[in-house]
Structure 1
Amino acid sequence: MVPVLLSLPLLLGPAVLQETGPYSLIFLYTGLSRPSKGIPRFQATAFLNDQAFFHYDSNSRKAEPVGPWSQVEGMEDWEKESQLQRAREEIFLVTLKDIMDYYKDSAGSHIFQGMFGCELLNNRSNGAFWRYAYDGQDFIEFNKEIPAWIPLVPAAENTKLKWEAEKVYTQRAKAYLEEECPTMLKRYLNYSRSHLDRKDPPTVTITSRAAPGRNRTFKCLAYDFYPQGISLHWNRAGKMLASKSGGVFPNGNGTYLSWVEVEVPPQDKDPYFCHIEHSGLSQSLSVQWDDTKKAKAESNPATQSQ
């Protein structure tokens, strides 16, 4: 995929950004050797920070903006982007076939994935990467400091030799990560900063469940928050408790949700508080479950509690 991906003309104008960030532009490619019925053989999704902003697949053969970017005019020439993704699809699937040929497994079911992108902090390049995986295992990655493609398994030696047969491909890879990708990201941010910079505070609910003769479980659920960074924990008598966390997950609407649980002995009548910290809150929030089975919020009135 290197020749097509890196021969993009630099058609991006200057951009002026405030001292903010970090912001990232990341592309994720997935190719399948034997896709199930209705599943595309190839898919490409581009992300601004953690938000998907356009998608392409081998069924539709179109690159199309998604989410709030579907309402933005002038951000990208989507017909040209579709043509580019079709070319990338062809090269990407050829590489997948080359790997399968190396393993002499042309009839098997395999997955090839690529991820590459860059980051800006305070309007300056803050990092970049480019790597591939085969069947879930690291395969090859680009080191822009050398610059060179670094095989991570023996099979990738053949891929390295093919991609580095012409030195210009390696030079283009370095230029893409250090120049073209950051410039693209700056351009996209002209249309996207207000969305990416938003801070949506969490809505918080607490539920309780218990079986006869067993500990009661309090569950604190925070949802509809953005960005995804959040701190959730249970407190009792001013002390943080060991608890079970559910991690942070996409909520399906561009926001996130998370939860944390704690077990309470049946005889324990002390108040328990769910403590929440998030950039969308003007200050931390504590929500208590009391004996009347109503969650009571303390501190920030902007967050709803039930």
Structure 2
Amino acid sequence: MGTMVSVLLSLLLLLGPAVPQQTQAGSYRLSFLYTGVSRPTDSLPSFQATAHLNDQVFFHYDSKSRKAIPLDPWSQMEGIEDWEKESELQQARESIFMETLQDIMDYYKDREGSHTFQGRFGCELLNNKSSGAFWKYAYDGQNFIEFNREIPGWVPQDPAALNTKRKWEAEEVYVQRAKAYLEEECPAMLRRYLQYGKAFLDRQDPPSMSITRTPGEDTIKCWASDFYPQDIDLHWIQGGNTVEAEVRGDLLPSGNGTYLSWVSLTVSPWRTRNTVFCRIVHSSLDQPLTGLDKRQ
């Protein structure tokens, strides 16, 4: 029991979106997303873990490779982490995480169904001071259990989580160590990572603009691509006024640490009498970008 819970203490998870939310100026976040599934496939391993620094993927681990693999630019930074030891730690976490998933399935007497157990842990720094930390789990998309630092202790949110709470609070020292990890060790780890990667997280990549029109259609799209950070204002302007976009594309990662997005507009006959411009505002730009559909 002691060994299992000791390993579990480092499995600190904060439920949230795959891409963490935009951070404030001077704010940094370290978070880990864990996912375990009862019915893996060729494309979906039984367990995978992804670490983020702010909204940037730091490293990835899964049950097929059994290796913590850093992504660029972190893979180019010597000394940021001992990746062999990190792989061993992730292997231990995988074992505990999947055991918990099986415990939940046993509680509900459903060993044959398709089930998912997820969690995310994280901590934040604002102006180099700890400004928050989180640890939550979900089962099949529903809240399962979370750690409350004020109590301190685990708060069950599912009937099966009562058993999990008893296991994870078998000894008081484990609760105190979990609290210490969230409030002390995680922020210290984040500070260490920032010594290597703060310049990358603070960079400003300006967007490029392109305007497209599908042949035979009256819809035009304005694209903003290759920008960072992710906060951007992208809209159409006509006669000096902002035109409400009919469709606004999702903010999507480009695959190289930057983002892309778009807005579309139907160019009706009455609109063609007045020039329509696309306007992009981003923190990397001294002046907004403006563009005109040349086929107007």
Question: TM-score normalised to the size of structure 1?
Answer: 0.86
Conserved 8 A contact 1:2-1:173: no
Deviation at 1:40, TM superposition (A): 2.1
Structure 2 distance, partners of 1:164, 1:240, is: 56
Q: Give the structure 2 partner of residue 262 of structure 1.
A: 265
Q: Deviations over 1:29-82 (max 9, x none)?
A: 111112013532111111111111111111122112112111110011111111
Amino acid of the structure 2 residue aligned with 1:230:
I
Q: Give the structure 2 partner of residue 95 of structure 1.
A: 100
Deviation at 1:120, TM superposition (A): 0.7
Match of 2:234 among 229, 232, 235: 232
Q: Which runs of 5+ in 2 are unaligned?
A: 12-24
Please, which moves more after superposition, 32-41 or 112-121? 32-41
Conserved 8 A contact 1:233-1:275: yes
Deviation at 1:6, TM superposition (A): 2.5
Quote the sequence identity (%). 64
Structure 2 distance, partners of 1:60, 1:179, is: 31
Amino acid of the structure 2 residue aligned with 1:252:
G
* Paired residues, number: 278
Deviation at 1:260, TM superposition (A): 0.5
Structure 1 distance, partners of 2:238, 2:156, is: 51
- Poorly superposed stretches of 4+, deviation over 6 Å: none
Structure 2 distance, partners of 1:252, 1:190, is: 24
* 1:105 is aligned to 2:110: yes
* 1:280 is aligned to 2:290: no
Structure 1 distance, partners of 2:60, 2:125, is: 22
* 1:289 is aligned to 2:293: yes
Structure 2 distance, partners of 1:208, 1:38, is: 35
Q: Give the structure 1 partner of residue 78 of structure 2.
A: 73
Deviation at 1:28, TM superposition (A): 0.8
Q: Give the structure 1 partner of residue 15 of structure 2.
A: none
Q: Give the structure 2 partner of residue 127 of structure 1.
A: 132
Deviation at 1:266, TM superposition (A): 2.4
Taking structure 1 as reference, are residues 201 and 36 closer, same or farther at Cα in structure 2, changes over 3 Å only? same
* 1:220 is aligned to 2:222: yes
CA-based RMSD: 1.8
Question: TM-score normalised to the size of structure 2?
Answer: 0.89
Structure 1 distance, partners of 2:254, 2:155, is: 37
Q: Which runs of 5+ in 1 are unaligned?
A: 9-19, 294-306
